[in-house]
Amino acid sequence: MSRSARCAGAPLLALGFGSLPWLASLAIAPAAPARSPATETTLAAALKAALDTIEIDDLKKYEAFLTSEECAGRDTPQKGLEKARDWLVEQHKSNGLASGHPDGSFLYEFEVPAVTWSDGDFLAISGKPTTGGDLDAFLPGVDFVPVRHSGSGKVDAEVVFCGYGIVDPAEKYDDFKGADVKDKVVALLLHEPRETKKGRPFKGEEWTDHARISRKWRAAHERGAKAVLLFTDPVNHKDLSVLKGELPRYGGIDARNDAPIPVVHCSGAIGDRLFGAGKLLEWQKALDSKLNGAPKALPGVKVRLEVTLKSVQAKTHNVVAAKKGTDPLRQDEWIVLGAHYDHVGTDDFGRIFHGADDNGSGTSCLLEVGQALARQDVELRRSVLLIHFSGEEHGLLGAAAYCRNPTYAADKTIAMLNMDMVGRGRPKEIDAAGLGYSVDFQAMMRKSISLSGARIKVGDGGMQYFKRSDQFEFWKLGIPVLFFMEPEEHPDYHQVTDTMDKIVFGKIAETAKVVTTLSWLLGEADERPVQKNIPP
């Protein structure tokens, strides 16, 4: 869920299990339709077969991938998001859904502003730790990557290793003690000494601000360093590849906050080449044991580094899949089902924001709804478009891009149902913001709960979050919308602690049953739903 501005809420209207009377349809069936709407009896029978495909084991499989290190926090427009994008396409294809784009693609492309390195950037090492000699060159994005807020620059200088880059007078700890780093390249370890161990320094089991990447490069720059090379500390971390979730990164170059020097994270391969095989591990063990800085110059070794950051328009994608309607008089009318699949990437410590609830839960829910609707025996008069949005966390970018140039005209979109953060909070309650402004939706919701047998209560709260997720862009076009979300934010919202182990999978499954059934009812209804008087 995006952090954008909030709007006033509406009173909660609890919709348990058929507690209010259903509304009678006021519509007259169109002349000579290809087929009549399904009766409640046949609808219920078909629904049971479809709803039986919604399984907790599926949801766990989805969440495990979306929250993995491979997806690296799914920030827009990063590689981890692209991995999630490609995986989503394969899921929908395997479920039997069609492309959601007239050109046969499952991708809706748009552009976002980003900052990244230039094609000619490189890092080269000359000399060897003991003998001097060969020159080896490395490429950005493969063996090193500029970190967020790195500056641009060209450097050709000697190297000094300065431990963790920490100075803490209270602990009498100084990784720069006695080192001359002026006009040098400074090599530093991520994190802190004695990670995972209790006691001082520093806190062991919990990183302090000393572990922040920005604090490390600032300490080096203040002492005159011309560039900083960061390395993952090998004692506590097996993955020594370049950090995921750094550049390219959403936004632009920010002279106010960016470093005046290049700051790059390097792979373990560069570490072995620079220091000698196994030396970084050896030096880190000594630092953690003695708890006293021990900087080391590397005579005969020089680093040439070039980083030229540039602002670009980066391509990113919504994932779109479709279930075509069967009624020639209704199949060009669309029900849009949405959930954003992006999240916020990594933090200043290099940790991944896993985004299990925000919005691994909504993404997983939409996948299960798609699987249920994809069955061949599920026939709707209208068509259904499933959209996994990217860029939501940066201001509903994917939804806004689609609504500016919709694949299917807005006046042919009869409703939009959005799922964002549906896996936490009270385990047997979900809100559908916007429900209180439509008697049509209320009647369909009661019927959805009855037909699906979903064991969940649906309320119409959550309007304070209405502007903060993708359905808002559709509502601005006059399309009736419902925003399925948990009744309140939890302490792990936009924290690295939003992890899979805290997800209530049964709640996602019950929500998926409701959304599947509601989608079916919308697809079969003679009249479009009406929604009125949502506050501007």
Which of 228, 208, 150, 173 shows the shortest CA–CA distance to 349? 208
pLDDT digits 0-9 by tens, 279-298: 999 999 999 988 888 999 99
Q: How far apart are CA 193 and CA 448, in angstroms?
A: 56
Angle at 305 between CA 300 and CA 309, to 5 degrees: 170
3-state secondary structure 395-431: CCHHHHHHHHCCCCCHHHEEEEEEECCCCCCCCCEEE
Please state the φ and ψ torsions of residue 357, each to the nearest 5 degrees.
Answer: -85, -40
In sequence order, what are the residues at sequence separation of 6 or more whose Cβ sits closer than 8 angstroms to the Cβ of residue 239? 69, 232
Residues in the chain: 536
Domain 66-113+313-524 has CATH 3.90.550.10: no
The token pair at 293 is 């800085």
How distant, in Å, are the alpha carbons of 44, 412, 413, 518, 525 from that of 36? 16, 20, 21, 18, 10
- CB-based contact 34:480 (threshold 8 Å): no
pLDDT of residue 395: 97
pLDDT of residue 258: 87
> What CATH number does domain 118-308 carry, 3.40.50.450, 3.30.2130.10, 3.50.30.30, 1.10.1660.10?
3.50.30.30
pLDDT of residue 31: 38
pLDDT digits 0-9 by tens, 475-496: 999 999 999 999 888 999 999 9
Tell me whether the CATH fold assigned to 66-113+313-524 matches the one assigned to 118-308. Answer: no
pLDDT digits 0-9 by tens, 448-473: 999 999 999 999 999 999 999 999 99
Cis omega before residue 202 (within 30°)?
yes
Domain boundaries, given as residue ranges, for the chain: 66-113+313-524, 118-308
pLDDT of residue 364: 98
Q: How far apart are CA 402 and CA 389, in angstroms?
A: 9
The token pair at 39 is 């009766």
- Residue 110's region, left for phi above 0, alpha for psi from -120 to 50, else beta, is beta
- With a cut of 70, which residues of the chain have pLDDT below it? 3-44, 129-135, 201, 203-204
- pTM recorded for the entire structure: 0.91
Q: What single DSSP character describes residue 221? A: H
pLDDT of residue 19: 33
- CB-based contact 284:233 (threshold 8 Å): yes
